[in-house]
Amino acid sequence: MSQAAAKDNCPRTPRELVAELDRYIVGQAEAKRAVAIAVRNRWRHQQLPEEIRSDVAPKNILMIGSTGVGKTEIARRLAKLTTAPFVKVEATKYTEVGYYGRDVESMIRELLDQAIALVKSELRKEVEAEARRRTEARLLDLLCPRPPHYSTTRTSPASEHPVDHEGGETSYERSREKLAQLLAAGKLDERTVEITTEQRATPVVMGGMGLENMDVDFQGMLEKLVPKSRVKREMTVTQARKVLFEQESDALLDSEKVNQLAIELAENQGIIFIDEIDKVIASESRGADVSRQGVQRDLLPIVEGTTVQTKQGAVRTDHILFIAAGAFHKNQPSDLMPELQGRFPIRVELKDLGAAEFVRILTEPRNSLTRQYQALLATEGVQLSFTPEAIEKLAELAFRVNQTTQNIGARRLYTVLEHLLEELSFAAPEMEDGKIEITPEYVTQRLQLVVADEDLSRFIL
């Protein structure tokens, strides 16, 4: 690829990515810079000569910070900005191979499923025109079924003279043409039609082993043995158009091409976010620790680079970007297996949020919590507003509760705001005065008693 062509296909720069993340997430500049550079390096990797590209591995990231400081949101927003396949998994749901539970390879299969969805969405744009034409034709067939085929001349049973059916065919074509015009104008959208949908039942396997843990060939054989069930459903033309469009789009796509492109996308652009990585550190208790140390051992080859077999083909994990995160309250990153530590060379520590950050979280992001509640109550005709002093009071109370009880970071704002607006949300449909202003006095009246009673705030806030 020439440098000019590479520049044309170049994604956002790290500075641009950080600026986009700033629109949704407050603070944590160090973590934002780290993930932005890691994503940019994915593009740089694709521009390298073939002889060096295979030796350049992604620099995986370990985020350290309390709950509610933005670890998951940074990774999720980053994946949306880069349109990369993204999977968030909880490290605690995996167990060592051979035990009941999910194996770590299932995260790669989930990533491939996401990649397939992205590839299909992109390829559907190429066949959209033809798919829509076929969809409209099928809707016309449902609204105006084609009569049985007759030849233009046929002998009548009661007479030896031929009967001309050309007039009937012409009448049908005229009716079909009129319906096509009405359908295009949207005047038939509320008509009811009956369509057939297909779905394949999931094979039921006796024992503790799930379908995803089976050998890939055996899994595919089982799926072929289970017949597809055809279900007839009645729905409006509007609803049927969406279902038929999906069916026609999938029929026009080459499944082999989709799988191949999806595997390439997952291998080169995939991002896996492993949350609660600190919870798989081995405990001091004796006995089998299949959900901790065993998971680390199974996770190591996935992060180092291996080949995972899936129904769609083999997926190499060498260049998938792994972002791990954990609070590490009771232990340290050094308590992880040394080999696993080495696969996460970039470590960033996210800072706890204070009252000042809470004020920014309530006001700055595009879809901040205050704007969400304003939009919700606007559906009832209630115009909700917050004074700057009320915002500061809310932030102060939320920070105080975090300090005196369990620190759950920005998630505390959800519970504080929900309790603050509970009475208003309940009475909104019957309110005559549609304008409500939240003042510091209102905040104090609704929350002061709960915040002051530490025992009570443990249950409510």
Please give the C-alpha separations between residue 233 and each of 236, 249, 324, 446, in angstroms, as whole numbers: 10, 20, 44, 50
**For residues 153-166, average pLDDT:** 46
Please state the domain count of the chain.
3
Q: Is residue 160 part of a domain?
A: no
Distance from the first to the final alpha carbon of the chain: 56
| pLDDT score for 137 | 86
Please give the C-alpha separations between residue 36 and each of 41, 60, 69, 243, in angstroms, as whole numbers: 9, 12, 18, 38
Q: Is residue 86 part of a domain?
A: yes
Q: Which of 254, 286, 320 is the last residue of a domain?
A: 254
Look at residue 413 and tell me whether its pLDDT is greater than 80: yes
Estimate the share of the chain in helix, then strand, then coil, as percent rounded to the nearest 5.
55, 15, 30
What the block records as the tokens of 190 is 């509320």
Please give the C-alpha separations between residue 438 and each of 37, 113, 393, 421, in angstroms, as whole numbers: 41, 45, 11, 9
Look at residue 364 and tell me whether its pLDDT is greater than 70: yes
Look at residue 6 and tell me whether its pLDDT is greater than 50: no
Q: Are residues 176 and 67 in the same domain?
A: no
DSSP label at residue 428: G
pLDDT above 70 covers a percentage of the chain that reads 79
Q: Which of the four pLDDT bands, split at 50, 70 and 90, describes residue 292?
A: low
Q: Are residues 410 and 367 in the same domain?
A: yes
Lowest mean pLDDT across 15-29, 70-84, 115-129, 283-297:
283-297
Q: Are residues 247 and 364 in the same domain?
A: no
d(CA 400, CA 412): 10
Q: Is residue 158 part of a domain?
A: no
Q: Are residues 381 and 425 in the same domain?
A: yes
Lowest mean pLDDT across 127-141, 180-194, 277-291, 413-427:
277-291
- Check residues 265 and 80 and name the one with the higher pLDDT: 265
**Mean pLDDT rounded to a whole number for the chain:** 78
- Under 8 Å between Cβ of 228 and 259: no
Q: Are residues 320 and 413 in the same domain?
A: no
Lowest mean pLDDT across 83-92, 298-307, 422-431, 446-455:
446-455
d(CA 289, CA 95): 9
Helix, strand, or coil (residue 26): coil
Q: Which of the four pLDDT bands, split at 50, 70 and 90, describes residue 111?
A: very high
Condensed to tens digits (0 to 9), the pLDDT of residues 244-254 reads 888 888 888 88
Sort 445 into a burial class: Cβ within 10 Å, 0-12 / 13-18 / 19+: exposed
Q: Are residues 15 and 87 in the same domain?
A: yes
Q: Are residues 276 and 180 in the same domain?
A: no
Q: Is residue 152 part of a domain?
A: no
- Under 8 Å between Cβ of 89 and 272: yes
Helix or strand run (H / E) with residue 161 = none
pLDDT above 90 covers a percentage of the chain that reads 6
Q: Are residues 285 and 331 in the same domain?
A: yes
Q: Is residue 25 part of a domain?
A: yes
| pLDDT score for 113 | 92
Q: What sign does the CA torsion over 199, 200, 204, 210 have? A: negative
pTM above 0.75, yes or no: no
| CATH code of the domain in which 112 resides | 3.40.50.300
- Check residues 314 and 433 and name the one with the higher pLDDT: 314
* 3-state secondary structure labels for all residues of 209-249: CCHHHCCHHHHHHHHHHCCEEEEEEEEEHHHHHHHHHHHHH
Q: Which of the four pLDDT bands, split at 50, 70 and 90, describes residue 209?
A: very low
Q: Are residues 296 and 410 in the same domain?
A: no
Please give the C-alpha separations between residue 128 and each of 131, 237, 251, 312, 416, in angstroms, as whole numbers: 5, 19, 12, 24, 46
Q: How many CB atoms lie within 10 A of CB 449?
A: 11
Q: Is residue 24 part of a domain?
A: yes
Q: Are residues 11 and 78 in the same domain?
A: yes
**For residues 196-203, average pLDDT:** 62
Q: Is residue 444 part of a domain?
A: yes
| pLDDT score for 298 | 84
Q: Which of 225, 254, 283 is the last residue of a domain?
A: 254
Return the ∠ at Cα 301 (arms to 299 and 303), rounded to 5°.
70
**For residues 400-427, average pLDDT:** 84
- Check residues 84 and 204 and name the one with the higher pLDDT: 84
| pLDDT score for 421 | 87
| pLDDT score for 263 | 93
> Residue for token digits 């089982």?
222
Q: Are residues 345 and 415 in the same domain?
A: no
Q: What sign does the CA torsion over 103, 105, 111, 115 have? A: negative
| CATH code of the domain in which 390 resides | 1.10.8.60
d(CA 35, CA 398): 29
Look at residue 343 and tell me whether its pLDDT is greater than 80: yes
Highest mean pLDDT among 21-25, 110-114, 398-402: 110-114
d(CA 409, CA 416): 12
Domain with 366, as residue range(s), is: 355-460
Please give the C-alpha separations between residue 212 and each of 102, 106, 260, in angstroms, as whole numbers: 8, 7, 20
Which segments within 142-236 are labelled E, that is strand? 153-155, 162-164, 192-200, 228-236
Is beta strand 86-90 parallel, antiparallel or unpaired with respect to 383-386?
unpaired
Look at residue 289 and tell me whether its pLDDT is greater than 90: no
Sort 457 into a burial class: Cβ within 10 Å, 0-12 / 13-18 / 19+: buried
| pLDDT score for 151 | 45
Q: Which of 349, 365, 399 is the last residue of a domain?
A: 349
**For residues 83-98, average pLDDT:** 78
- Check residues 212 and 386 and name the one with the higher pLDDT: 386
Q: Are residues 239 and 127 in the same domain?
A: yes
d(CA 27, CA 392): 17
**Long-range contacts from 439-445, C-beta under 8 angstroms, 24+ separation:** 439/387, 439/389, 439/390, 440/387, 440/389, 440/390, 440/392, 440/393, 442/390, 443/390, 443/393, 443/394, 443/397, 444/393
Q: Which of the four pLDDT bands, split at 50, 70 and 90, describes residue 221?
A: low
Is beta strand 313-316 parallel, antiparallel or unpaired with respect to 307-310?
antiparallel
Q: Is residue 392 part of a domain?
A: yes
| pLDDT score for 199 | 63
